[in-house]
Every structure is written in C-alpha cells, then in structure tokens.
C-alpha cells in the first residue's frame, strides 16, 4: 500500500463518502428548529401555522429528497465520466456542493424553506455522482487490497455521521440560530477536495481505455503504485480494451432478461435494497426522536448520539481491517443478524419501558448494535459484491440497477418512517427486523464467498 494510493483514497473518500455520511445525519439534531422555521414561515405567508400532519410531511420530504438527488446523480455518472473523466466529473460535482451550501446557508435569512429542500436535493446529486472516485481507487488497487480499500469509504461514511453528531451538540452548532450554518458546513470538505484534486493524475484505466493514452496511463500507474514496473497492469488494461471493443455492453433490461446471470442479478438487487430497508437510514435520520421515545432525557440525547457515532467508526474499522481475512460473506451475514436482533430488542424495550424505566438504556444499546452491525459489513460489501459477481459487459448495468434500488429504498425509508412510527409505534421496528434476518438467510443459502475467486468460479457455484 503506497502513500500516493493511500492519499488519493483518503481524498476521494473525504470529499465524497464523508459528505454522504454527514448529510445522512445532519438533519437529525436540528429537526425541531427546522420544523419551527417551516411553521413560522408558513404562518407569515398564509396567516396560520401548519398542522402536525402536513408539517411532518414537509420535513420528511426535506430528509428524503436527498435520496432522490442521489438517484439522479447515480444515473448520470456514466455519461459524465465518459465525457469529462473521473477528475473532471468529481470537480463539477464539488461545485454543486458549493451551490447547495449557499442555498441552505441563506434559507433562514431569506425566509425560504424551498431553499433547504433544493439544497438537500443538490447534495444528494453530488453523493450519487461521487461514488465513482472510490470505484477508481478500487480498480487501480492490488488484488490483495481491493477488499480493504473497498471498505475505506464506509469508514468515512461513519466519520461523516460522527462529525455531524459532534457539530450538532448544543455547545457547537446545535442551536436555533446556527442550523443553516450546520447544514452548509458541507462546503468545507468539498472545497478542499476541489483544490487538491487536480494535483493527482487521472484514472489510468480512463486514460488507456477511453483516451488510448498509453504513456499517460503508465505514468499515472507509476505515481499511484510507487514502482516503475507497471507493464503487467498495462498489458491487462490493453487486453480489457481489446475485449471491450469487441464486446457489446449489456443494458439494464438485457441484464434482467439474461437467464445465465439471474441469480447474480437477484443477489445484487437483494443486498443493495436491503442496505436501506434494514432500517439504518431511519436510525441515522431520526436518532434523536428514537431516543426521545425511548425515555432518554432530552438534555442527554445529543451526547448519547455522539457516543453511538464513535462506536460506529470503530465498527467500520473492524470490518475494513478484517475483510481480507474473514471474507465478504461472514461479515455481511453477521452484520444483518446483529441488526435484526437489535431491532427486535428496541421493540421489546419500548413496550416494557413504562414498567421497567431502565429499558431506555437497552434501547440505546440496541441502536448502537444496529449501527455497529451495519458498519461491520452491510455498509460497503454490497458494492464489492456488485463488482465481483459480474464480468465487464454486465457490470455497468448491475451498478445502475443496484444503485437505483439503493437510492429508491433510501428515499422510501426516510419518507415513510415518521408515519410508520406514528401508526405502528414500537412495532414499526419489527418490519426492519424481518428484512434483516431474511436477507442474512438469503446470503447464507445463495451467495458464495467471492474473495479471491474469478467470475467463472463464482458463476459455476451459482449454477
């Protein structure tokens, strides 16, 4: 693992994955202030405030619109990379964050809730397009480090969530007058990435395969890997270039109809959708509300939330440093099982909290278990599996399908969870519990271990 490769991994994860994690959690602590701003603005405009139902609907849209932006960004990323390259696409995506920060930062001054919603959708657009930076790092990494580097972005997602929780403390930006600044902090890492990105070479695969620039690809590989001997990788890329020139890329519709990869397609759909349907977004988006319903004193909730964030960072690091030893399959099965058990535990603790006051601490422990279980495996392994289950001709369509399901499920959970919580109460977590346990069973019965296996070996196991 060379320093340049580690540095570029850090940079793209810092400006992409960490922003994604930050935007997942940033709407949690200022929820009361944002709702108050919406209510007061509505009252000034129309002479009356919002009823609880419409106010919940408007806030749910603010939370979940981030995922719709991500869906659009993920669908556009292929066209943009082909036209501008990865560095060019990342630079343009970073400019979007500066625009989004301006919208959200001045929304209160201008009395415009619409600016908050637009800003959230633009940050989602950025997150949907910036997954390609980590994909580029994964492609130039040595084979024995692809699992490790593939999970580095998940650590930065956890760090982003943690920083949002820390900045949301009452002593920092967790105050009524600071929430627009809290939302617009995203411009800081985006600006740093924009300044530093042009110091790094373009993706070697893009230079050779798309631009036919053998010299540029050779120099880029030497810089990334810190060795002059890169002829084996250049040869591999040239073979890939030749195969792509004679290969017809499969569309999403063709992928869905291809019976030879139907189990791989189903598996990618299951693991990508389950990342969000596991309930993790409900935990990140509405942590404070969950703790409040569990009976945690309001004054202690921000600090309890920060504690859960610190534990999730540790869990993410455990998954990252053990994946090459344990493999993909044990981590994802264990992660979903832990999440399912803890989701059932939250339901039990909420039902018994009136009779047993100490059950509120059980709820906190279950939330920690859910986040830790997710960060250990389900947070990043589905993206690795998507790459490892398909050949190059099928892989782009698989990424589009998996990414679309991921973002659609993210939107669905973020939008409906407040209403599900109001209607089902403590039992709403059993829906997520059932999904987690069923997915763990599916992975155990259907998906093979993909570590150090070729596509043909994986295909033979599926057959």
Q: Using CB atoms within 10 A of its CB, is residue 456 exposed (0-12), middle (13-18) or buried (19+)?
A: exposed
Question: What is residue 155's predicted lDDT score, i.e. its pLDDT?
Answer: 81
Report how far residue 103's alpha carbon sits from residue 114's, in angstroms, rounded to the nearest whole number.
9
For residue range 4-49, what is the model confidence (pLDDT) as tens digits?
Answer: 667 777 777 777 778 888 888 888 888 889 999 999 999 988 888 8
pLDDT at 70: 85
At residue 341, the pLDDT reads 93
On whether the CB atoms of residues 115 and 103 are closer than 8 A, the answer is yes
Sequence-ordered alpha helix ranges (H) in 327-426: 328-352, 359-376, 381-388, 395-424
Span(s) in the chain for CATH 1.20.1250.20: 1-200, 250-462
pLDDT recorded at residue 144? 63
Q: Mean pLDDT over all residues of the chain?
A: 80
At residue 433 the predicted structure's pLDDT band, cuts being 50, 70 and 90, is very high
- CATH homologous superfamily, domain 250-462: MFS general substrate transporter like domains (1.20.1250.20)
Asked whether residue 88 carries a pLDDT value surpassing 70, the answer given is: no
The SS3 assignment for 237 reads helix
pLDDT of res. 458: 72
- pLDDT of amino acid 447: 85
Pairwise CA distance, residues 86 & 331, whole Å: 30
57-78 average pLDDT score: 83
Mean pLDDT, residues 326-355 taken together: 87
Q: Is pLDDT at 278 greater than 80 in this prediction?
A: yes
For residue 369, pLDDT over 80 is answered with yes
- State residue 3's pLDDT score: 67
- Least confident range from 142-146, 230-234, 284-288: namely 142-146
For 1-200, CATH gives 1.20.1250.20
Tokens of 252: 């999403």
- For residues 82 and 432, give the distance between their C-alpha atoms in angstroms, rounded to a whole number: 38
Q: Using an 8 Å Cβ cutoff, are 244 and 392 in contact?
A: yes
Q: 69 pLDDT exceeds 60?
A: yes
**pLDDT (tens digit per residue) in 188-200:** 887 887 777 777 7
Q: Give the C-alpha distances (Å, rounded to integers) separating 179 from 35, 104, 116, 184, 249.
A: 11, 9, 11, 9, 46
Whether the pLDDT of residue 136 is over 60: the answer is no
Whole-model pTM over 0.75:
yes
CA angle 139, 132, 6 (to 5 degrees): 55
Give pLDDT tens digits for 226-273: 778 778 778 877 776 676 666 667 778 888 888 888 888 899 899 988
| Residue 455 pLDDT | 63
pLDDT of residue 337: 93
pLDDT of residue 440: 93
First to last CA, the chain: 36
pLDDT-derived band at 358 (thresholds 50, 70, 90) equals confident
pLDDT of 383: 77
Confidence at residue 338, expressed as pLDDT on a 0 to 100 scale: 92
In angstroms, the CA 183 to CA 189 distance is 13
Phi and psi, residue 138, nearest 5°: -60, -35
Residue with tokens 């010299």: 215
Flag whether pLDDT at 148 surpasses 80: no
Count H helices, E strands: the chain?
23, 0
Instruction: Report the Cα 280 to chain-centroid distance in Å.
Output: 11
- Quote the pLDDT of residue 77: 66
With tokens 């057959």, the residue in question is 463
Predicted local confidence at residue 119, as pLDDT = 92
* Chain centroid offset of residue 372 CA: 15
If one compares 354 and 55, the residue with the highest pLDDT of the two is 55
Cβ-proximal residues to 54 (8 Å cutoff; 6+ apart), any chain: none
Percentage above 70 pLDDT, the chain: 86
| Measured distance CA(263)–CA(462) in Å, rounded | 7
Distance CA 351, CA 429 (A): 12
| CA nearest to 120, candidates 169, 170, 62, 160 | 62
d(CA 338, CA 377): 11
Nearest in space to 308 (alpha carbons), one of 168, 106, 119? 168
Task: Count Cα atoms within 13 angstroms, Cβ side, for 205.
Answer: 20
């Amino acid at each position: 693992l060379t320093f340049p490769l580690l540095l570029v991994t850090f940079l793209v994860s810092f400006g992409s994955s960490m922003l994604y994690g930050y935007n997942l959690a940033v709407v949690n602590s200022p929820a009361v202030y944002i709702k108050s701003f919406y209510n007061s603005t509505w009252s000034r405009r129309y002479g009356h405030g919002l009823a609880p139902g419409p106010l919940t609907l408007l806030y749910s849209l603010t939370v979940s619109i981030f995922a719709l932006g991500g869906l659009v960004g993920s669908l556009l990323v292929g066209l943009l990379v082909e036209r501008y390259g990865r560095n060019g696409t990342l630079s343009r995506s970073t400019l979007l964050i500066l625009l989004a920060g301006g919208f959200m930062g001045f929304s209160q001054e201008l009395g415009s809730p619409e600016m908050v919603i637009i800003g959230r959708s633009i940050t989602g657009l950025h997150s949907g397009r910036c997954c390609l930076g980590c994909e580029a790092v994964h492609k130039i990494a040595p084979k024995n480090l692809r699992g490790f580097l593939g999970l580095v972005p998940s650590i930065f997602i956890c760090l982003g969530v943690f920083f949002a929780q820390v900045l949301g403390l009452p002593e920092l930006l967790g105050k009524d007058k600071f929430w627009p600044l809290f939302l617009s902090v995203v411009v800081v890492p985006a600006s740093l990435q924009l300044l530093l990105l042009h110091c790094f070479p373009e993706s070697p695969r893009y230079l050779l395969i798309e631009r036919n620039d053998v010299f540029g690809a050779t120099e880029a590989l030497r810089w990334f890997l810190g060795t002059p001997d890169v002829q084996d990788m250049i040869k591999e890329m040239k073979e890939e270039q030749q195969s792509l020139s004679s290969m017809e890329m499969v569309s999403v519709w063709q992928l869905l109809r291809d019976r030879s990869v139907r189990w791989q397609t189903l598996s990618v759909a299951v693991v990508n959708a389950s990342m969000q349907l596991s309930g993790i977004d409900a935990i990140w988006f509405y942590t404070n509300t969950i703790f409040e319903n569990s009976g945690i004193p309001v004054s202690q909730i921000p600090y309890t939330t920060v504690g859960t964030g610190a534990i999730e960072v540790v869990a993410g690091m455990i998954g990252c440093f053990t994946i090459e030893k344990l493999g993909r399959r044990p981590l994802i099965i264990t992660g979903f099982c832990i999440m399912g058990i803890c989701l059932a535990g939250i339901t039990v603790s909420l039902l018994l909290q009136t009779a047993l006051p100490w059950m509120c601490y059980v709820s906190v422990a279950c939330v920690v278990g859910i986040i830790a279980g997710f960060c250990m495996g389900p947070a990043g392994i589905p993206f690795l599996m998507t790459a490892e289950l398909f050949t190059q001709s099928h892989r782009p369509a698989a990424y589009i399908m998996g990414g679309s399901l991921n973002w659609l499920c993210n939107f669905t959970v973020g939008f409906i969870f407040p209403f599900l919580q109001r209607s089902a109460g403590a039992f709403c977590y059993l829906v997520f519990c059932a999904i987690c346990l069923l997915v763990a069973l599916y992975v155990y019965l259907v998906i093979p271990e993909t570590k150090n296996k070729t596509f043909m070996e994986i295909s033979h196991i599926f057959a």
